[in-house]
Amino acid sequence: MHYPQVFIGPVREYETMRPSGISKRAAEGRILLTPLGLEGDQQAETHFHGGPDRALCHFPREHYAHLSQQFPQQAEHFQPPGFGENISTLGLTEQNVFIGDIFRWGEALIQVTQPRSPCYKIGIHLGVAQLSHVIQQSGRCGWLYRVLSPGYISDGQPLELLTRNSEVSVAEAISIAFNQPYDEEQYRRLLGAAGLAASWSSKMQVRLESRKIESFSARLDGKPRGG
């Protein structure tokens, strides 16, 4: 059993970047988990964040120790929910969580849909230049869920794995999508992972059709494509 900390927060204005829901606080008591996420939680720029396939963000707590060692001057910032996560646990990582995994959480059922795609706002929020690049290259990205069955959850209720539906771990999905050269066979393998988010399926299809990998610069650096 894995016992998560739970975090929620509103969209806020920032002087140095566009509005974001990355700043969160610990949730208290029973919270309704809806198909679009936890009651009281918000996402900005909904073309990239939130929606049914990205209702919850999970970031492994153990990654913060690694980041604190890598960036000791910012170590005080590396603690939950520094990455804007809704769920923080020990023991669940990209290596042992798989695309399509279904978990029971309180009254709800949730399913892993995709890795988190790190964006430039993480580095601004935590005061570390190029942090999005570091996270993507390390594979310590976390992952997202859809809500299969809504219901009430509360801090400390365990996540219980019910079914495993694919042979593609979150770590493998990160490697295939972000850190490997063009590989048609691996894209088709990822497309075959039951439960994969629709946006990721579309992304892999576009790669197969265009026979090239899209630019990551807009997401990682906050710059227009080609900038």
What is the per-residue pLDDT across 121-145, written as a single tens digit (0 to 9) for each?
899 888 898 999 999 999 999 999 9
207 located within any domain:
yes
State mean pLDDT over 153-157.
88
Give Cα 166 distance to the centre of its chain: 18
Mean pLDDT over residues 18-37, rounded?
A: 88
Does 227 fall in a domain? no
> Residue 89: inside a domain, yes or no?
yes
Can you give the pLDDT at residue 47?
58
Q: What is the mean pLDDT of the chain?
A: 92
Structural domain for 25, as ranges: 5-221
- Give the mean model confidence (pLDDT) for residues 21-49: 84
Residue 168 lies in a domain: yes
* CA 24 vs CA 8, 9, 82, 156: distances in Å: 5, 4, 8, 17
In a domain, 99, yes or no: yes
Task: Give the pLDDT confidence score for residue 65 in this predicted structure.
Answer: 95
* Interatomic CA distance for residues 56 and 136, integer angstroms: 19
Give the gyration radius of the chain's Cα atoms.
Answer: 17
Distance CA 31, CA 6 (A): 10
Which pLDDT score, from 0 to 100, does residue 45 have?
A: 64
**Looking at the 3D structure of the chain, how many domains does it have?**
1
Q: Write the burial class of residue 204 (CB in 10 Å: 0-12 exposed, 13-18 middle, 19+ buried).
A: buried
- The CATH number for 153's domain is 2.40.33.20
Q: How crowded is residue 39: how many other Cβ atoms within 10 Å of its Cβ?
A: 13
Helix (H) and strand (E) counts in the chain: 7, 11
- The residues pairing with 20 across neighbouring beta strands, listed in sequence order, are 12
Asked whether residue 217 is domain-assigned, the answer is yes
Is residue 226 assigned to a domain?
no
pLDDT digits (tens, 9 = 90+) for 49-93: 678 999 999 999 999 999 999 999 888 889 999 999 999 999 999
Average pLDDT over residues 142-156: 95
- Mean pLDDT value across residues 209-220: 96
Average pLDDT over residues 154-175: 96
Whether the predicted pLDDT of 226 surpasses 70: no
